[in-house]
Structure formats: structure tokens, C-alpha cells
Amino acid sequence: MAQLNIYLNRLEHNLNFLKSISPDKNSLIGVVKANAYGHGIIEISKKLVSMGVSRLSVASVSEGKLLRENDINCNIIVYYPDPFELNDIINYSLEPAIYSKRILKKLIKLLDKSKRDFSVHLKFNTGLNRLGFKFEDIEWVIKKIDKARLRVLSVYSHLSASEDKKNNLNTKKQLKIFNEIKSKFYDLNSEIKYHLLNSSGIFNYPEHQYDWVRSGISLYGYSNNSDWDKNLLPVAELKTKIIQIHNVKKGESVGYNNGWIAKKKSKIAIIPIGHADGIGRYFKNRNVTVKINQLKAPIIGNICMDIFMIDVSHIQCKEWDEVVIFDQKNPANIFAESAGTISYEILSSLGNRIKRVYIS
């Protein structure tokens, strides 16, 4: 019964805003991994392509395959390819991000028998200490790609604290290393593109946009900064309905493991969405509220797999009344933060039982 309404005109608004502050209109990589942050990878990708985005990016080979199987023919970067799925990278004409010596060697071995001039992106670790080649690997990498005649489309890295504009000591260090990496590759081939910034970086470090930017959460309406949020529109609204109302006496418990005890006579409403849909157990917290008839109702007791309960003692409501989990006025980042998590997690966790409805 839960429904995610997805307003494609807001996606368009966000894209236009992001383009207006990006290096040029073709520089934006649309990040559609994790089912387009829960918004539906096929529909969102088609919309982005129709609005002129020429390169999308996903995390896994399976996501790239899914796009190809749905006739999405633009360039697709796979950020975290599984080394054992490189055959599909080749077969589906996906562009892998190559992040280690092992995966580069493996790709070259596979390509030896088939293609030359295969397009790749090179990922460098400049300080996040997640994936990527080290600075010291450059000479080795250059030799390898030269010999195998791979085509390097871009060289990139990822900031560890792009949300943080003030404490940017580490960012400065990362920028310095990235610039050194760039100068090494620039001598090799001046066509290569460079990119460093995700959504927060686009806003906080406009002077370091290089050739491309990688826009994920901001396309969906969130910037991780309340000032920048004003320029964006949350694309999705999650709504459901009360399916039952109970009156409980003082002292009665609600939900598994007596998760909530009524301090007084109370009215509770049963909401058909649970941790299997992406509302994690940690949303059990007096501070987490949803809205009914414009009024806040706190989540009570433990979240169940398919259901959670709310206290509606103070609200005039009846069964089948609408429940707003998040919408434009009560955005997903605020809902997420009230339970100690972030917009990225709540959005990307939204399960496939939730019906997606696209509104143009």
C-alpha cells in the first residue's frame, strides 16, 4: 500500500540547476546506482538521457546490464566492477572504473583475445582510502594501458570530506595529489577528462570541478547542506495509509518485545510499511514522526518487517487516512536524520514492494 510518488519535473529542475553551476552542459555524470537512490533506475535513467545527460554511472555490473537490457544506450560507468564480472562489462559495452593492479591485469587478459582500444576510467585513491590506485602506481599503470592500447576516458578520485568546507586540510592534500596525477596523465594524452566531485563537492568546491562532475543525491533533491537545499526539489514523496486503529489502555504494550508501553489511555494507528521496505529498526525512537492530516505522529514500539505503529492519540483520524512518511515539506533527509541516519540510506533502502508512481 505504500507508494513512492516520483515527480520527474523536479528531477528536471534539479538537473537544470546542477548544469547551471557545472563546467559545461555535458560535464554532468548522472549517478543512478542503487536503483537511482531508490527512485527506479530505468525510469530515472530514461528521463536523464531524454534531458541530454550523456553519461550515467552505476555501482555494479548487474546495474549496468539492467540498463542495457532496457535499451539505455548512453555511456555507462561502472564504479565498482566485480573482477569476476568483467566479461559482462565487455559484452554489454560498459565502461569500468579500474581501481587496482589486479583488476587491470584481469581486464587486459580478457581483452587480449578480443578487442583493443577498450574504454576505461582510472580511479585513484588520494586520501579517502577506499578504492583506487596509489600515486606510486602511476608509472606501472601507464605502461600497462599503453601496451594493451586501452583508451583512458577519464582519471578520477573522490574527496573524503566534500561536505565539509571548513576543515579542509585533507581536501587540500587530496587536491594536490590529484593535480600531480593529472599532470602525469596530461603528458600522456591531453584528451583524458578529470573529475573529483560528488554532489557536495559541486556545491562546496566549485573551483575544483575539473572536466566532469558526478551528481547523485543532488539530482534527487538533497545537497547535504540546508542552504544549497533551497535550490533543489526533493523528487520523491513516500506515502501510505492507516490500515487499522486501536485504542489501548494505560499499561498495555505495543509491538514486539513490549517495545512501547502506554503511559495513558492511547490511540494507535497501524501503518503498512516496515523494515523489509527500508524503514530500519532504528526508526524506533520518540523523535521520529510521520504526518497525518498535517499533524506529527511519533513512531512507537519496534518496527516490524511489514508494519510499524504510531501514536495518534492527539489526532483526529480514521482508517485509510493518508500517512506522509516524507514529502517536499517534510523531506527525507529530515526523516532520516531524526533516526540517526542520512538521506542516502533511507532512499536507497526503499524496497521493491513500494509502488513507484511517476508524475511528469
The catalytic residues are 33, 256
Residues that bind ligand PLP (CB under 6 A): 31, 33, 79, 158, 198-200, 214-218
> Residue written as cell 540510506?
345
Least distance between ligand PLP and beta carbon 235 (Å) = 13
Please state the closest distance from residue 102 (CB atom) to ligand PLP, in A: 19
Nearer CB in complex with ligand PLP: 293/341 = 341
Tell me the C-alpha distance between 33 and 43, whole Å. Answer: 13
Cα–Cα dist 36/25, whole Å: 21
Q: Across-strand partners of 270? A: 244, 309
CA distance 174 to 197: 12
Beta strands 308-311 and 266-271, pairing class = antiparallel
C-beta of 302 vs 333, nearer to ligand PLP: 333
CB of 269 to ligand PLP, least distance (A): 34
Compute the distance between CA of residue 130 and CA of residue 262 in angstroms, rounded to an integer: 46
Q: How far is CA 332 from CA 3, 20, 234, 320, 327, in A?
A: 14, 25, 8, 23, 7
Smallest distance, ligand PLP to C-beta of residue 156, A: 7
CB of residue 150 vs ligand PLP: minimum separation in angstroms?
20
* Residue 33 or 65 with smaller CB distance to ligand PLP: 33
- Judged by beta carbon, residue 33 or residue 291, the one nearer ligand PLP is 33
Residue of minimal CB distance from ligand PLP?
Answer: 216
198 Cβ partners below 8 Å, 6+ apart?
A: 31, 158, 159, 162, 213, 214, 215, 216, 217
Identify which of residues 156 and 308 has a Cβ nearer to ligand PLP in the complex.
156
| Chain-centre distance for alpha carbon 58 | 10
C-alpha cell at 226: 540546508
Burial 51-65 (b: 16+ CB within 10 A, else e): eebebbbbbbbebbb
